[in-house]
RNA sequence: GGAUCUGUGGCUUAGCCUGGAUAUAGCGCCGGGCUUCUAACCCGGAUGCCAGGGGUUCGAAUCCCCUCAGAUCCGCCA
């Protein structure tokens, strides 16, 4: 409904002005849409912009009379206000299950996120990647894209060689009940301590790297055991976060199936290739000073080579590839894109996000300096349980725990997704544990309220007649949901959905305060119940797309 | 030294791509509101030279240049 109405207004403006760009945008508090095209025309026609606006209004009235859009001018601004027919159309759409789902696009998308090295548990920096990636995946599905979500497992890197050396030489025992990823981190941290103290260990690591590249059976087994042990822990965390992947791709597979060798051969043939001991590529034509090294002088490959093979595979199997990467990958990500262009491949689109640090500085798995996602979730869950226990003492233990779980995961995800990705953040326990206002529980609560009203009300007749200021504002916001999904799928900026969901909850709460529903009578009651149902449905769809449980009671 | 990103009330943050009408919210602060559909809520108030300087424009938080501050990268690691 929003798209159609926007298009009708835009077409009308184009027709009456003859301009290609009619400068149509959000009207803010003044209107639903507003155009500043009169300013542009004033320059061309050398006339007063306010007069132009007034003249255009007369013509626009004729064009848009049947669309339920009214036009007002305020000086040079042309404001468009959507009327009753629009509101009715929105409500009808928003009552349907799955509201916001856009038409299928027949485009296969490969979205890769998290892909953390399996040398320890996910920490609060990694899960910014997971939450951005998973939210985008949900948005893409909602936007009608056929979307696969990948985790690329770096199972033959130096870090894993260090972990395998640690398992063989340190004799560190797994603690009672310790998760695999945490155990691997213990080994990795200690192995690094040893490595720093005794540089001769580096030779042993190099030997392991050479063996793994050759496919040495024993070394493959050692690496794989360590990787799987850690990955199982990571998978458990991601599952709890509602951020599952549907494919785990192992980089070693691209070595074993020869695709990496094939890519390197084609790179050797490029004029930009340089071979003197190492194989590297000169990307100065793309503005990169440093050469991009793909093979070491000892003949083993670096991560970048395997990554090229993986991305060629993506190009062959999908229409679009989207990678979510931390800001530390900006340079190599762009080098990867440039190299794929030289090879004639379609490079991935990359979403970069800035770092999450601790008040005492940046995180480091190697130094054991991080807050794990598991620890964060545990703390938030404890806090959520206290809150539920306080508010709903009458609920069963099981219900309380279930609500606390949904609230905790929602709070963690929302706290991350609400900030735009280009902003670096400092992790703050106080904010993570705050469940008021700009938080998931606030939005979940609005949804639960809607559910509660509908349950108490029982059957009602659908009536499409928003009347009060709060009703109209709420329905208009509901109408924006498909546009928000579309916009995020274009701009790859998922924090917009977090803002939208919060604003929708704000408007629902204001509506709730001033417009009694169950106590109202007749058509007014039915109309309000219709609005509550549409709002509740939209809140649920928005929450679900954010990967947050839309619970019915809390 | 070079590259990229960020800088908006005491704190956190939207808006910046696509310039336009009194700059968005929250926390904190001050003052109200539960015999009323769940107060994880609502309403009102105070608080901003939109980092600083220059430029483009009828018009700049938004575009361009410079400076300052913070983050990240510049490895035969990933």
CATH 1.10.730.10-classified regions of chain A? 373-545
What is the rounded distance in angstroms from the CA atom of residue A534 to the CA atom of residue A551?
16
Closest by CA position to A148, among listed A127, A134, A132: A134
CA dihedral A468, A472, A474, A478 (to 10 degrees): 150
What is the rounded distance in angstroms from the CA atom of residue A103 to the CA atom of residue A116?
33
Evaluate whether A549 touches A409 at the Cβ level (below 8 Å).
yes
In chain A, pLDDT over 70 holds for what percent of residues? 100
CA at A25, C1' at B63: how many angstroms apart? Answer: 18
CATH number of the domain located at residue range(s) A2-82 in this protein: 3.30.1360.70
> Using CB atoms within 10 A of its CB, is residue A310 exposed (0-12), middle (13-18) or buried (19+)?
buried
CATH 3.30.1360.70-classified regions of chain A? 2-82
Q: How far from each other are the two terminal CA atoms of chain A, in whole angstroms?
A: 33
CA at A42, C1' at B58: how many angstroms apart? Answer: 10
What is the rounded distance in angstroms from the CA atom of residue A168 to the CA atom of residue A204?
11
pLDDT of res. A491: 96
Banded pLDDT at A276 (limits 50, 70, 90): confident
What is the rounded distance in angstroms from the CA atom of residue A521 to the CA atom of residue A526?
8
> Using CB atoms within 10 A of its CB, is residue A457 exposed (0-12), middle (13-18) or buried (19+)?
middle
A25 has which bridge partners? A34
What is the rounded distance in angstroms from the CA atom of residue A243 to the CA atom of residue A548?
10
Q: Which of residues 139-168 of A touch strand B (CB under 7 A)?
A: 154, 157-159
pLDDT digits (tens, 9 = 90+) for A284-334: 999 898 899 999 998 889 999 999 999 999 999 999 999 999 999 999 999
Banded pLDDT at A335 (limits 50, 70, 90): very high
Helix (H, G, I), strand (E, B) or coil at A450: helix
Give, as one character, the DSSP assignment of residue A260: H
What is the rounded distance in angstroms from the CA atom of residue A537 to the CA atom of residue A526?
16
Give, as one character, the DSSP assignment of residue A466: -
Asked if A176 CB < 7 A from strand B, the reply is no
pLDDT of res. A294: 95
Question: Where do we find the tokens 């940046």?
Answer: A362
pLDDT of res. A46: 85
Main-chain phi, psi angles of A330, to 5 degrees = -55, -50
pLDDT digits (tens, 9 = 90+) for A84-113: 999 999 999 999 999 999 999 999 999 999
Strands A349-353 and A320-326: parallel
DSSP E strand boundaries for A130-178: 146-153
Helix A158-169, helix A201-214: angle, nearest 10: 120
Helix (H, G, I), strand (E, B) or coil at A287: coil
CATH number of the domain located at residue range(s) A373-545 in this protein: 1.10.730.10
Residue A31 pLDDT exceeds 90: yes
- DSSP H or E run through A310: helix A303-317
Average pLDDT over residues A328-346: 95
Residue A524 pLDDT exceeds 90: yes
Average pLDDT over residues A6-20: 93
Residue A137 pLDDT exceeds 90: yes
**A239: Cβ–Cβ under 8 A, 6 or more apart, which residues?**
none
Quickly name the fold that domain A113-357 has: Rossmann fold (3.40.50)
A295: the nucleotide nearest its CA (via C1') is: B76
Residue A382 pLDDT exceeds 90: yes
- Cα–Cα separations (whole angstroms), residue A414 to A127, A238, A355, A505: 12, 15, 17, 14
What ipTM, to 2 d.p.?
0.96
pLDDT of res. A59: 92
Asked if A281 CB < 7 A from strand B, the reply is no
Determine which of A235-239, A284-288, A470-474 has the lowest per-residue pLDDT on average. Answer: A284-288
Q: Which of residues 286-315 of A touch strand B (CB under 7 A)?
A: 289-290, 293, 296-298, 302-304
The average confidence (pLDDT) of chain A is: 95
Q: Which of residues 508-547 of A touch strand B (CB under 7 A)?
A: 509-510, 512-513, 515-519
Can you spell out the DSSP letters for A191-220?
A: HHHHHHH-TTHHHHHHHHHHHHHHT-HHHH
What is the rounded distance in angstroms from the CA atom of residue A427 to the CA atom of residue A450?
33
pLDDT digits (tens, 9 = 90+) for A56-65: 999 999 888 8
Q: Which of residues 473-512 of A touch strand B (CB under 7 A)?
A: 491, 493, 495-496, 499, 502, 506, 509-510, 512
pLDDT of res. A44: 83
Q: Which of residues 414-473 of A touch strand B (CB under 7 A)?
A: 418-420, 422-425, 431, 434-438, 441-442, 445, 448-449, 451-453, 456
| The token pair that represents A425 in the structure block | 């953040």
Closest by CA position to A307, among listed A339, A270, A272: A339
- State the nearest residue by CA to the C1' of B26: A438
Main-chain phi, psi angles of A290, to 5 degrees = -85, 145
């Amino acid at each position: 409904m929003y798209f159609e109405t926007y298009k009708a207004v835009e077409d009308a403006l184009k027709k009456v002005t003859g301009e290609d760009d009619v400068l149509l945008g959000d009207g803010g508090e003044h209107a639903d849409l507003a155009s500043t095209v009169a300013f542009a025309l004033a320059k061309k026609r050398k006339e007063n912009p306010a007069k132009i606006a007034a003249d255009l209004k007369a013509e626009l009235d004729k064009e848009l009379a049947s669309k339920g859009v009214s036009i007002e001018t305020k000086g040079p601004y042309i404001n468009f206000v959507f009327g009753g027919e629009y509101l009715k159309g929105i409500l009808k759409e928003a009552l349907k299950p799955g509201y916001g789902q856009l038409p299928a696009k027949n485009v296969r998308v490969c979205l890769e996120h998290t892909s953390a090295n399996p040398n320890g548990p996910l920490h609060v920096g990694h899960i910014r990647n997971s939450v951005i990636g998973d939210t985008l995946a949900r948005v893409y599905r909602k936007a009608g894209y056929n979307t696969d979500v990948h985790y690329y497992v770096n199972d033959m890197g130096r870090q894993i060689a260090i972990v395998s050396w640690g398992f063989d030489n340190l004799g560190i025992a797994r603690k009672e009940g310790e998760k695999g990823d945490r155990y691997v981190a213990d080994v990795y941290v200690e192995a690094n301590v040893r490595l720093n103290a005794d540089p001769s260990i580096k030779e042993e690591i190099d030997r392991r790297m050479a063996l793994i590249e050759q496919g040495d059976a024993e070394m493959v087994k050692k690496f794989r055991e360590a990787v799987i042990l850690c990955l199982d822990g990571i998978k458990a965390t991601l599952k709890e976060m509602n951020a599952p992947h549907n494919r785990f791709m192992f980089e070693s597979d691209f070595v074993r199936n020869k695709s990496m060798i094939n890519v390197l051969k084609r790179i050797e043939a490029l004029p930009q290739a340089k071979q003197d001991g190492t194989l590297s590529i000169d990307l100065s034509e793309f503005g990169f000073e440093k050469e991009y090294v793909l093979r070491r002088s000892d003949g083993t490959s670096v991560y970048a080579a395997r990554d090229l093979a993986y991305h060629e595979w993506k190009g062959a199997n999908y229409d679009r590839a989207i990678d979510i990467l931390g800001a530390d990958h900006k340079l190599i990500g762009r080098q990867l894109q440039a190299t794929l262009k030289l090879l004639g491949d379609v490079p991935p689109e990359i979403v970069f996000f800035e770092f999450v640090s601790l008040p005492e500085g940046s995180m480091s798995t190697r130094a054991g300096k991080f807050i794990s996602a598991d620890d964060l979730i545990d703390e938030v869950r404890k806090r959520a349980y206290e809150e539920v226990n306080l508010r709903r003492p009458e609920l069963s233990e099981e219900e309380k725990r279930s609500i606390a779980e949904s609230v905790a995961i929602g709070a963690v995800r929302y706290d991350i997704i609400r900030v735009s990705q280009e902003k670096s953040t400092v992790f703050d326990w106080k904010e993570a544990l705050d469940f008021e206002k700009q938080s998931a529980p606030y939005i979940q609560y609005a949804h639960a309220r809607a559910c509660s009203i509908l349950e108490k009300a029982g059957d009602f007749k659908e009536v499409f007649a928003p009347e009060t200021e709060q009703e109209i504002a709420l329905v208009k916001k509901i109408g924006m949901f498909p546009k928000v999904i579309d916009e995020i799928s274009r701009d790859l900026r998922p924090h917009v959905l977090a803002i939208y969901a919060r604003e929708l909850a704000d408007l629902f709460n204001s509506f709730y305060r001033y417009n009694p529903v169950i106590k109202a009578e007749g058509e007014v009651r039915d109309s309000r119940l219709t609005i509550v149902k549409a709002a509740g449905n939209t809140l649920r769809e928005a929450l679900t797309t954010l990967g947050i449980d839309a619970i019915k009671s809390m």
